[in-house]
Structure 1
Amino acid sequence: MASNVQSLPPLPDPKAPVVDPKTGLITVPWYQYLRQLDNHMRDAERRLTAGGL
């Protein structure tokens, strides 16, 4: 089964803060990366479930 999930964006700079100290919220690059990673994991889970595993 082919995946229609986009490829992961490059890992944000490891020195870049994950949380914005001004707002207390996750920064945009890290949010986008983690969201795409979540999409990939969910796609893998769907594919495994469809295969009977």
Structure 2
Amino acid sequence: MPRPRGVKGCGDITCVPAVETGLIYMVMVIDLFSGCLIGWSIADHHRADS
């Protein structure tokens, strides 16, 4: 699906309780024009680097 110029996105970080690690952080980025998921990531830390 082609994207228009000036695409705007929205992101969210959610903490999910996990039995083994305590917390898992889930990050999602959504395209506000189409409502489609652009990307996501899951990690056991809340650092900017992966």
Give the TM-score, by structure 2 length.
Answer: 0.23
Higher relative contact order (CA 8 A, sep 6+): 1
Bigger helix fraction: 1
Bigger strand fraction: 2
